[in-house]
């Protein structure tokens, strides 16, 4: 699963240094068993990659993305928000991570260093990926991978504190520790709804989230659970059913997959052409200009860069809202090539 995950998203490559360190920290007696598992996983990954390549999936995009990475100094706001995200993710249990780190430092320092490197690899990659020409909304979601090693340390800290409490003679103290641990672990169930209700507006100012139809930018991110959420389904159906025959929809990766799912799994509008084109170097505009004049052209969203080349497209097309998506009307007598 690890090898397959490494080929699923370029961000996961940030975990490689930490994983390598953790493997090196494994006792030599377990290396043979680990090597067998690694070879089997690598073989399965190669089979999966071969199948994906034959199916036409852009597997080499991972290599291109990794090769195109350039370190940029982060914005001061992003650097300050990094610990704030960590506190919000673990409202009361974060001190347990420090206790877990201390416990691991005493028993296996090499393993602790590996866990820390695993965290820093993911956090620093996102923090230094800032592009000077644009600001990527929803950037905070890419920190999710860095929370796994923190959760491991919290688990170790919880176990260490529980083991210490068992040695205490007074039942009242032991009960107090148990209640404190329970409160720390369950605190997100209380903090998340309160944050969404009372500080949601302020949070969107500090960390602007992308707004899409059927998705409230506050509750969607501040409330991890998605029970009863139907926004993506409603967006896909509304967008597809309102299109004229043989329409062309240009979409970035997020709305594209919603529309594609609606088309393939939902069985709606096989006549519609869906084009996943990420903004950059005029790719979207060239594709739109290459389409037949008789075909209706649409954008799945009207967000600016890095999602859509809106400024360039508006020079050649009028962008008009059509339900939950946007219709393009060619401007007459306007040179675009």
Burial of 60 (0-12, 13-18, 19+ CB in 10 A): exposed
CB 196 within 8 A of CB 205: no
Q: In sequence order, what DSSP letters do the residues of 263-313 get, joined into one string?
A: HHTS---TTSEEEE--SSTTHHHHHHHHS-TTS-EEES----TTT--HHHH
Sign of CA dihedral 230, 233, 236, 238: negative
For residue 298, CA distances in Å to 20, 213, 250, 318, 331 come to 46, 15, 6, 11, 14
Collapsed DSSP state (helix, strand, coil) of residue 333: coil
The predicted pLDDT at position 132 comes to 47
Among 167, 189, 187, residue whose Cα is nearest residue 177 = 167
CB 330 within 8 A of CB 317: yes
- In this structure, the strands spanning 325-330 and 297-299 are antiparallel
Alpha helices in 167-267 (DSSP H): 171-198, 200-206, 219-222, 231-241, 253-264
Could you tell me the pTM of the whole model?
0.71
CB 155 within 8 A of CB 52: no
Q: Where are the domains of the chain?
A: 2-160, 231-330
Q: What pLDDT tens digit does each residue of the chain (337 aa) get?
A: 344 444 445 566 777 788 777 777 777 656 666 667 667 766 776 777 777 677 766 666 666 666 666 667 777 877 888 888 888 888 888 899 999 999 999 988 888 988 998 898 888 887 886 554 445 566 777 788 889 899 999 999 988 888 887 777 677 777 777 788 888 888 888 888 887 777 766 655 555 667 788 777 777 777 778 888 888 899 999 999 989 999 999 999 889 999 999 999 999 999 999 999 888 888 999 999 998 777 899 999 998 888 899 999 999 999 999 999 999 998 887 777 6
Sign of CA dihedral 155, 160, 163, 165: negative
**Residue tagged 């688990």 (tokens):** 155
Give the whole-angstrom CA distance, residue 220 versus residue 232: 11
């Amino acid at each position: 699963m690890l090898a397959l995950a490494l080929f699923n998203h370029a961000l996961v490559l940030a975990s490689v240094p930490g994983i390598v360190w953790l493997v090196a920290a494994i006792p030599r007696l377990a290396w043979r068993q680990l090597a067998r598992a690694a070879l089997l996983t690598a073989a399965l990954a190669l089979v999966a990659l071969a199948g994906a390549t034959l199916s036409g999936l852009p597997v080499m995009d991972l290599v291109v993305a990794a090769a195109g990475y350039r370190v940029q100094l982060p914005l001061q706001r992003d650097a300050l928000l990094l610990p704030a995200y960590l506190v919000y993710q673990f409202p009361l249990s974060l001190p347990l991570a420090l206790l877990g780190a201390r416990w691991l430092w005493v028993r296996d320092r090499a393993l602790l260093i590996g866990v820390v490197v695993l965290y820093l690899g993911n956090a620093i990659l996102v923090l230094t990926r800032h592009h000077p020409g644009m600001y990527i909304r929803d950037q905070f979601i890419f920190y999710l991978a860095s929370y796994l090693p923190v959760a491991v340390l919290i688990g170790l800290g919880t176990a260490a504190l529980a083991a210490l409490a068992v040695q205490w003679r007074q039942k009242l103290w032991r009960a107090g520790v148990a209640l404190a641990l329970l409160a720390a672990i369950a605190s997100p169930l209380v903090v998340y709804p309160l944050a969404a209700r009372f500080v949601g507006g302020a949070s969107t100012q500090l960390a602007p989230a992308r707004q899409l139809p059927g998705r409230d930018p506050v509750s969607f991110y501040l409330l991890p659970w998605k029970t009863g959420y139907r926004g993506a389904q409603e967006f896909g159906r509304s967008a597809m059913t309102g299109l004229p025959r043989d329409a062309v929809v240009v979409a970035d990766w997020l709305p594209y997959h919603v529309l594609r799912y609606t088309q393939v799994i939902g069985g709606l509008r096989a006549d519609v052409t869906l084009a996943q084109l990420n903004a950059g170097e005029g790719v979207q505009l060239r594709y739109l200009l290459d389409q037949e004049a008789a075909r209706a052209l649409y954008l799945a969203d009207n967000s600016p860069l890095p999602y859509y080349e809106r400024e360039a497209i508006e020079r050649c097309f009028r962008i008009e809202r059509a339900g939950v998506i946007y219709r393009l009307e060619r401007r007459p007598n306007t040179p675009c090539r």
